[in-house]
Amino acid sequence: MTPRRPPPPESLVRAPDPVTEADKKDIDRTLLRENLRRSVEERVLALMALQRLAEEARRARNPTGA
């Protein structure tokens, strides 16, 4: 297990941003953690698969390409 870093000095600690704090409740952190466990290559491959899926959805919505 990696040792934890000591907390930053008080002079570097910022007050929490209320907008960010409000947004946090809507974020599924388990998905973020799962993605961060992947290697860079695995993340790139997953992104490429998502791009292919998005392109397929665009073509299905507009098959003439216009």
What residue spans define the domains of the chain?
29-66
Can you tell me whether residue 6 is helix, strand or coil? coil
Whether the CB-CB separation of 38 and 46 falls below 8 Å is answered with: yes
Q: Is-above-0.85 flag for pTM?
A: no
As a whole number of angstroms, the distance between CA 15 and CA 7 comes to 15
- Compute the distance between CA of residue 19 and CA of residue 8 in angstroms, rounded to an integer: 22
Q: How far is the C-alpha of 6 from the C-alpha of 3, rounded, in Å?
A: 9
4-45 pLDDT, tens digit each: 888 878 878 788 899 988 988 888 889 889 999 999 999 999
Residue of 41, 19, 43, 23 whose CA lies nearest to 31: 43
